[in-house]
Structure 1
């Protein structure tokens, strides 16, 4: 999930060298490279009103008062047309709060900045629709009787799907389908979701765990396929829980709340 795109700037120094080899190295250092530099982005509690209005609004069914937090996480990356040179890459390489990613792994190739922003917005809307379908399907609710509205500005991409679904389940689960999911904890995570509830992999999970820790989360839900990547730089004191489906995530959070055994990466 990408926050609104920004350019991570770095002071540039151009030295004039007399030696041809040094000149070539200087040119190479300033030449654009096909990479994107990313850093931890914002997190948003989908159960709350971080954006000035409720992230999740539900009508047509009883809604419970939730506790704790369910935080979707993002990364901030250099824009698709931003120039990233060797100095940017070297700087990011030695920092834990930066990552160098192939540009094509972050943005669709061959598109303008405007087209990419439209694509990311469309992916977010598609993710929201899938999240609603997955949550209502899990709870056995009739979509025709329950209106769910999701509001999250300045964020694009599909990787908040899992957290949207969990937020909907948490708000609707007070009518016999189970109680609070968080146990008052600050819980974060990432993952795409299909209408069938299957959780998919995303990018930048090591940066997202940093964002989650920065904003007080102690538990992080991660797509199972990305356990190893997330565990490489896991912030101290954070519990990393792998998930493959929405039902896994719900079961793990309920077990965690009751002090039972919880899968861990």
Structure 2
């Protein structure tokens, strides 16, 4: 066999071996890419995303799009070729697998966590929107979870409204822990509660829950190394619950959007609710997209995957992107052409910026910078 032919054959075999290795060798990375955007003022799968009943609403045009990110599953393992392609591509990001699924979290666990965060973000979006419109929202402290095998099991239930502990009114979730831990383990503590079913019926009727019944629970000693939502620690008294908050809205607001998780749509849901509850267009017919968590007070928080959300928004046609203040630097470092970033810290910031966008007076919009 001629030497040149042998060399070519050897090279081909090496190339084939490298190709096989590239396909077969898995690397501990995952991929993020732009996901779909959804107009909170429009429909999804044939029904309105925001459904409000019991209160006058107004037509809304334009776009207030929430944005999403697609990620590879927890069980999916990229090969070398996929990782290199992802690193080189502009419309995707390759990150360590543990970034998306820390501590060996399964896809099922991640999905459940995202669903819970999405549900909470909807509640906070409603509260923030109504507070911005000066519409009263009743807030109460509730039993969030009951620890299995704890003194509270079968006595308190998730959703029970906690009115008082030992006769002292409860105003914040943290009050419950402070009042319980005044006791020594083995002592009785008395909760004044409204059962979850009664509270749910009141919420459905659009009124604050009333009444109450007393439940006495014998406290136990907290585990030495961990708490259970109350102040844990050696010789501290606990009953085995986690306290949280719930809200009673004066009318019904439903957010209908399937297959979406996480807390990052909160800001855009709030703006969509505000738009539907006020005369005129918040957008002025403009295409605005954005992202950001939101709390009950209307504070906008940072999110992950900002660069992918920018790409998804621009591909969908957005011209303006409402950007959480803490994400501004990374967003400004890689902004798609034709997309204007608008920095927001609160829901009030966002509504003021929307007024500037609506009227076309955009020179003074708060912007993002890399510094």
- Which TM-score band applies after superposition, normalised by the shorter structure? 0.7 to 0.9
Query: Is the alpha carbon distance of 1:61 and 1:190 closer, same or farther for their aligned partners in structure 2, counting shifts above 3 Å?
Result: same
State whether residues 30 and 87 of structure 1, in contact with CA within 8 Å, keep that contact through their aligned partners in structure 2. Answer: no
**Distance in 1 between residues matched to 2:344 and 2:365, nearest whole Å:** 11
2:331 corresponds to 1:230: yes
SS in 1 for 2:269: helix
Q: How many residues align?
A: 243
- Taking the TM superposition and a 5 Å limit, the aligned residue runs for 1:246-257 are 246-257=347-358
Aligned to 2:226: none
Instruction: Look at both structures and tell me which one has the larger radius of gyration over its CA atoms.
Output: 2
Q: Which contiguous aligned blocks of 4+ residues in structure 1 show a shift greater than 6 angstroms? A: none
Q: TM-score normalised to the size of structure 2?
A: 0.61
Shift in Å, 1:31: 3.8
Which residue number corresponds to residue 106 of structure 1? 100
* 1:213-262 Cα shifts (integer Å, max 9, x gaps): 11111111111111121122322111110111111111111122223321
Work out the CA distance in 2 between the residues paired with 1:42 and 1:209: 11
Superposition map of 1:40-59 within 5 A: 40-59=34-53
Residue by residue over 1:175-224, the C-alpha shift from the partner in whole angstroms, topping out at 9 and shown as x without a partner, is xxxx4211101110111111111111111111111111111111111111
Which of 116, 141, 147 pairs up with 1:122? 116
8 Å CA contact retained: 1:231, 1:240: yes
Q: Which has the higher strand share?
A: 2
- Contact 2:124/2:266 (8 A) holds in 1: yes
Cα distance change of structure 1 residues 129 and 240 upon mapping to structure 2, 3 Å threshold: same
Cα 1:28–1:214, aligned 2, differ >3 Å: closer, same or farther?
Answer: closer
5+ long unaligned stretches in structure 2: 1-11, 138-248
CA distances 1:1-42 after superposition (whole Å, capped 9, x unpaired): xxxxxxxxxxxxxx9759xxx88x975884433321111110
1:163 paired residue number: 268
**Equivalence for 1:264:** 367
Unaligned segments of structure 1, at least 5 residues: 1-14
Q: Structure 1 residues 111, 43: CA separation in 2 closer, same or farther (over 3 Å shift)? A: same
What's the C-alpha RMSD, in Å, of the aligned pairs? 2.1
Shift of 1:155: 1.0
Is 2:286–2:357's contact at 8 Å kept on the other side of the alignment? no
Residue 112 of structure 1: how far off its partner (Å): 2.1
Q: Give the corresponding residue for 1:244.
A: 345
Superposed, 1:33-112 pairs within 5 Å as 33-112=27-106
Which of residues 310, 320, 333 in structure 2 aligns to 1:209? 310
- Corresponding residue for 1:4? none
TM-score (norm 1): 0.85
Q: Which residue of 2 aligns with 1:5?
A: none
Whole-angstrom distance in 1 between the partners of 2:24 and 2:305: 26
Q: Distance in 1 between matches of 2:356 and 2:328?
A: 19
